[in-house]
A and B are shown apart, each in its own frame.
Chain A
Amino acid sequence: MFTVTVTSTTTGASRAWVVQTAPIEGEAETVAEDKGPSPIAPEVKELAWGAGAFIVLFLLMRVVLFPRLKKGMDARYGKIRGDHEGADATRAAARAEVAEYEAEIAAVKAQAAQRIEAARNVLEDERTAALAELKARVGTQRAAATAANEAARAAAEQHVSTAVADVSSRAAELATGKRPKAADVTNIVASLMGGSQ
């Protein structure tokens, strides 16, 4: 069985706790003499120092320190905002330049397209004209050929019908002994040939 009793050396702010096997009477008495402040009740000197320190801090903060710091912060935020706006303006300008360049390109392209279109139109016209001319020539040639053909056929028909009329009137004459009228024969022949066609 042993007892560890700790008492404090009460010599000021450096507080060393010394472990002793038994309490020393004299020290216990000095502890009892200097009990120290009440842990709850505020002390006037501490109140005064604390109040003074806080009031000085608050007044300086209110009058000098905070406004200066805040002004600097606002200036920097303002500068950052200004830089942002400058960057936005530069970006907008660059965008405008790009747009202008693109518009120029578009104009040039449109002009080129117009020229190509004109050239194509000219070519188209020429082609149409040549085609029309060709068609006309072909048409006239075809008409001439058709006319010649018609004429040849008409002549051949005429020739055939004359020959048929001759032959038939001759045959009729041989069969009836009397010569039919030339106009009647021709009509009959024509109607027959027209019907056979």
Chain B
Amino acid sequence: MQYVAAKTADEAVALLVGQSGMARVLAGGTDLLVQLKSGMVEPDLVVDIKRIPGMKDITAEAGGFRIGAAVSGAELGEHAGVCAMWPGVVEGFNLIGSTQVQGRATMAGNLCNASPAGDAVPSLVAADATARVHGPNGARDVAILGIPAGPGRTTLAKGEIITSIFLPARPARASDAYLRFIPRTEMDIAVASAGVSLVLAADGTVESARVALGAVAPTVLLAEEAAKAITGTRLEEDALARMAAACAAICKPIDDKRGTVEFRTKTAGVLAKRAARIAYDRAGAKK
């Protein structure tokens, strides 16, 4: 196995394109190193992208924030601007692993690991964030929803890497939230999860909403009907019930050691309701 710490995104892309065998990208390594140790993957080439300039930067851009692909959970969690604007994105990302893992883990890595249960992903989808992809043909911006292709698979082509994630600007009365269900309180993988992003109108009704569900289908789901069910409401009980039902209607989970189809389907709706309430309270509390 060859290990290379690329100095530029172009170098990383060239290395990946030039490798005929198995190549893997290393950012935080919190998934890759575990896979290497357990023998799940035996790559011929590992390209470390952490040392590429800009990869560890969080920069203000167009009223929002651009987050480098090697920014860790601990670093994002300490960024006051991102925490104030996108608390749901930060709380989802910060749920991954332990304190130690948070020192290494990255959002881009969580996205590219492509687990249906990735905790960073639903909030990014709800936030309508985009990933900047560098490849042999230059850079392009891709909606987060367009990255995962299935468990462990992405839509990225050979040689393509994510270099940053962009969180867009927010109106004043807006916020988001993320909740997952795990049988424990930490150190676990989501059995079902929900990220909700809301913008409130001046009268306190929901002006627009985005709802995303994790761990209930091969890839993260954007629950558009669920969002419609609460748009124009103040999250009254019947609106939340319609939202939960709309969530349940699109779930396509599996039965496995972590949960049943029935349990995941039901819980996804419960989490979406609860996350919506939290996002609503956060948005309403803003002046």
Co-complex (A, B): no
Residues of A within 8 A of B (CB): none
Residues of B within 8 A of A (CB): none
